[in-house]
């Protein structure tokens, strides 16, 4: 034994009068570190109920439940997370994945309760002492689990596309599509926003896994116009995408297009399968647009015999005769229509109801009739001079261009309107100007300011890239003519406001701010309406109407038991809404047939 060993007990006496370093009350006097992962917090105003926290939790410790006073709205499921601390392991993955950064963890780690059920609670809903704690674990502001920027869609540069109607968007390749699909957290908020309620997270997962056969099957469960919607859908689903809270929304529309581009047409038909056995029921559909042909597709697959009457020489409705080919190539549209006719649907082109066959004949010869006639007539501003031959409707010009008819191309032109149709006709005529004259001279005037244009922002951006002169907040006052009566332009005033206090359309102008825009032609693109003259006077009188549109019930049935109506003519212009409408009326008609079978 050494001398140190002998003396060591006595050396401890020197600590006798020191302050103790132990904590007298460790339960209350021992806070967690500043970024300690303690009990959860949730900012209910930031939270959108996307459920990514529930999906990522490996322990099943999070459930999404409804909360009283928080309704489901576009982009918010109305659900909020409930944490089960019997399962939670405090890994904080739920915080890291939270798309809105609403979920966090306080540095409080002490919670004493006798009742074990108390440890199931909803942060932010069930009030706790740590709700307002500033310390704890937060999602890193810059390091996210998913990339914030979407994969850029390859497309032709303005100088390559300005004089051509060749499709400007090239589409993702497989590597690009899979990278974009990897950004999706499968929250499902997009499904509720999509009018057709497509299985969006599921088909994005199919892209991620390279299972394009499954992707096609998922698309055709709800949308026989996947070629079309993959290119020109208004993609409101992306407005609800959880990813937009930390960057760009997922490119849902482009991923839909990618799937359908990967699978040959023959394989698409194999995957969809054959229609059911014939039922003996006959349905007539007026109009071969998205609503009419979607209804035809559904009804034919049920085994009903479907005949479509189309006034034009080809199908597609306004998707063909209203959308330029540089946005929607006609061969893509034709592929969608070919899938529908493969189900046995008979389309009679150049058959105008009211001329080649009457509504009375349709009522007599068919068990049900669907009117899906679209909006093929343009509205007029009715300003002085708008009845001049060189004041044209956008829908008429677009139809001429599609049909390959000769178009009078002016050296200068003014377009009135701020929607997609206005952008489409301005860009189409600009291409024709460039081909014929070598330069572009087109002015677009709109009542709205640029921020509130009805056109998709990308359409506005591309119009500017293609040298369209956009003048916002300009109200048309009159067409201007020279001494010989030739149209030379459009006079506009500065718009001060568009609606009055009760939100009625009542524009106010600054008359002192007057401009004259040069134009040998003026094109009105301020809205469209349906040509209901096909109904005839007797049926028009019998039907119920609602503010100029045929009145229908929730299922699209009119006041005449044999007649349904769907699509743009009742809901306004939108491809995916028309598809949803087609599904709705088809389901209604099939249900009526089934009821009749039961009661027969």
Best CA proximity match to 475, nearest among 514, 520, 438, 419: 514
pLDDT on residue 246: 87
pLDDT at 23 over 70: no
Q: How far apart are CA 473 and CA 171, in angstroms?
A: 35
Best CA proximity match to 449, nearest among 470, 422, 479: 470
Structure tokens at 210: 């390279």
Could you tell me what percent of the chain has a pLDDT over 70? Answer: 95
- Element containing residue 45 per DSSP (H, E): none
- Stated length of the chain: 600
Q: b or e along 258-293 (b: 16 or more beta carbons within 10 Å of the residue's beta carbon)?
A: bbbbbbeeeebeebbeebeeebebebbbbbbbbbbb
Q: Going along 13-153, which residue ranges are E strands?
A: 40-42, 62-66, 79-84, 103-106, 120-121, 136-137
Contact (Cβ atoms closer than 8 angstroms) between residue 541 and residue 550: no
Which residues lie below 8 Å from residue 200, measured CB to CB, with a gap of 6+?
188, 190, 191, 194, 237, 252
Q: How far apart are CA 447 and CA 291, in angstroms?
A: 30
Average pLDDT of the chain? Answer: 93
Q: Going along 204-353, which residue ranges are E strands?
A: 282-286, 305-309, 346-348
Q: How far apart are CA 296 and CA 288, in angstroms?
A: 9
SS3 518: strand
* Of the candidate ranges 18-22, 52-56, 455-459, the one whose mean pLDDT is the lowest: 18-22
Residues 221-234: what's their mean pLDDT?
A: 96
pLDDT at 20 over 70: no
pLDDT on residue 143: 77
Q: What is the pLDDT of residues 306-315, one digit of tens each?
A: 999 999 999 9
Q: How far apart are CA 249 and CA 173, in angstroms?
A: 19
pLDDT on residue 112: 87
Q: What is the pLDDT of residues 155-206, one digit of tens each?
A: 999 999 999 999 999 999 999 999 999 999 999 999 999 999 999 999 999 9
pLDDT on residue 26: 60
Residues 556-582: what's their mean pLDDT?
A: 95
pLDDT on residue 145: 79
Residue 219, Cβ density class (10 Å: 0-12 exposed, 13-18 middle, ≥19 buried): buried
Q: How far apart are CA 77 and CA 235, in angstroms?
A: 18
pLDDT on residue 141: 79
The residue ranking higher by pLDDT, 489 or 502, is 489
The residue ranking higher by pLDDT, 29 or 237, is 237
Residues 386-406: what's their mean pLDDT?
A: 96
Structure tokens at 424: 């489409």
SS3 277: coil
Instruction: Give 407-462 as a DSSP string.
Output: ----SSEEEE--SHHHHHHHHHHHHHHHHHHSS--EEEE-SS-GGG-SS-HHHHHH
Structure tokens at 520: 């040998």
The residues with which 106 forms a beta bridge, in sequence order, are 136
Best CA proximity match to 564, nearest among 278, 349, 335, 298: 298
Best CA proximity match to 474, nearest among 450, 454, 442, 455: 450
pLDDT at 16 over 70: no
pLDDT at 25 over 80: no
The residues with which 549 forms a beta bridge, in sequence order, are 546
Q: How far apart are CA 415 and CA 468, in angstroms?
A: 10
Contact (Cβ atoms closer than 8 angstroms) between residue 293 and residue 566: no
Straight-line distance from the first to the last Cα atom of the chain, in angstroms, rounded to the nearest whole number: 111
The residues with which 545 forms a beta bridge, in sequence order, are 550
Q: How far apart are CA 295 and CA 251, in angstroms?
A: 27
Among all chains, which residue has been given the structure tokens 């080809």? 314
pLDDT at 18 over 90: no
Band of pLDDT at residue 32, cut at 50, 70 and 90: confident
pLDDT on residue 8: 67
Residue 403 sits at the vertex; the CA angle it makes with 399 and 408, to the nearest 5 degrees, is 70
Contact (Cβ atoms closer than 8 angstroms) between residue 338 and residue 272: no
pLDDT at 597 over 90: no
Q: How far apart are CA 297 and CA 337, in angstroms?
A: 9
- What number of other Cβ atoms are within 10 A of residue 574's Cβ? 17
Residues 532-559: what's their mean pLDDT?
A: 93
SS3 395: helix
Contact (Cβ atoms closer than 8 angstroms) between residue 487 and residue 481: yes
Residues 225-229: what's their mean pLDDT?
A: 96
pTM over 0.75: yes
Which residues lie below 8 Å from residue 426, measured CB to CB, with a gap of 6+?
413, 415, 442, 444, 463, 468, 523
Q: What is the pLDDT of residues 328-363, one digit of tens each?
A: 999 999 999 999 999 999 999 999 999 999 999 999
Q: What is the pLDDT of residues 513-534, one digit of tens each?
A: 999 999 999 999 999 999 999 9
């Amino acid at each position: 034994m050494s001398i140190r060993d002998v003396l060591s007990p006595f050396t401890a006496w020197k600590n006798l009068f020191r302050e103790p370093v132990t904590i007298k009350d460790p339960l209350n006097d021992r806070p967690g570190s500043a970024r300690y992962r303690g009990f959860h917090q949730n900012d209910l105003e930031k939270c959108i109920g996307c459920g990514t926290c529930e999906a990522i939790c490996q322990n099943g410790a999070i459930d999404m439940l409804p909360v009283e006073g928080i309704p489901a709205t576009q982009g918010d499921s109305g659900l909020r997370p409930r944490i089960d601390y019997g399962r939670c392991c405090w890994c904080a993955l739920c915080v890291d994945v939270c798309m809105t950064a609403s979920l966090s963890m306080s540095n409080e780690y002490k919670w004493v309760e006798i009742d074990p059920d108390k440890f199931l609670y909803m942060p932010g809903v069930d009030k706790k002492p740590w709700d307002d704690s500033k310390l704890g674990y937060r999602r890193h502001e810059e390091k996210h689990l998913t990339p914030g920027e979407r994969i850029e869609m390859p497309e032709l540069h303005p100088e390559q596309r300005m004089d051509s109607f060749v499709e400007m968007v090239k589409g993702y390749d497989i590597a690009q599509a899979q990278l974009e699909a990897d950004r999706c957290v499968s929250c499902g908020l997009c499904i509720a926003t999509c009018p057709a309620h497509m299985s969006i997270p599921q088909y994005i997962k199919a892209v991620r896994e390279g299972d394009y056969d499954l992707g096609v099957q998922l698309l055709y469960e709800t949308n026989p116009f996947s070629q079309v919607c993959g290119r020109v859908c208004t993609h409101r689903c992306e407005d609800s995408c959880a990813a937009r809270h930390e960057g760009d929304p997922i490119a849902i529309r482009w991923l839909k297009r990618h799937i359908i581009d990967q699978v040959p047409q023959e394989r698409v038909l194999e995957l969809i399968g054959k229609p059911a056995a014939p039922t003996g029921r006959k349905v007539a559909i007026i109009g071969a647009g998205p609503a009419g042909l979607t209804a035809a597709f559904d009804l034919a697959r049920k085994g009903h015999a479907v005949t479509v009457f189309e006034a034009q020489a080809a199908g597609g409705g306004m998707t063909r005769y209203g959308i330029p080919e540089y946005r929607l190539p006609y061969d893509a549209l034709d592929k969608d229509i070919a899938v529908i006719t493969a189900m046995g649907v008979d389309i009679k082109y150049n058959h105008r109801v009211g001329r080649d066959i009457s509504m009375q004949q349709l009522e007599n010869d068919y068990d049900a009739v669907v009117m899906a006639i679209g909006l093929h007539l343009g509205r007029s501003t009715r300003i002085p001079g708008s009845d001049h031959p060189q004041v044209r409707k956008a829908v008429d010009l677009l139809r001429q261009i599609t049909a390959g008819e000769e178009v009078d191309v002016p050296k200068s032109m003014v377009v009135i309107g701020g929607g997609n149709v206005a952008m489409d006709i301005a860009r189409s005529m600009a291409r024709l100007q460039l081909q014929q004259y070598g330069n572009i001279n087109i002015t677009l005037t709109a009542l709205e300011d640029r921020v509130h244009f009805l056109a998709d922002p990308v359409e506005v951006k591309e119009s500017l890239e293609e040298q369209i002169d956009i003048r916002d907040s300009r109200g048309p006052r009159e067409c201007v003519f020279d001494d010989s009566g030739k149209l030379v332009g459009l006079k506009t005033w500065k718009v001060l406001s568009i609606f009055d206090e009760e939100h009625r359309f009542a524009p106010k102008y600054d008359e002192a701010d007057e401009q004259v825009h040069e134009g040998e032609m003026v094109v009105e693109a301020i809205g469209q309406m349906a040509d209901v003259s096909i109904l005839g006077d007797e049926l028009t009188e019998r039907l119920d109407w609602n503010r100029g549109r045929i009145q229908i019930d929730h299922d699209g049935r009119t006041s005449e038991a044999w007649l349904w109506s769907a699509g743009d003519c009742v809901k306004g212009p939108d491809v995916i809404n028309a598809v949803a409408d087609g599904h709705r009326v088809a389901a209604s008609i099939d249900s009526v047939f089934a009821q009749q079978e039961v009661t027969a």
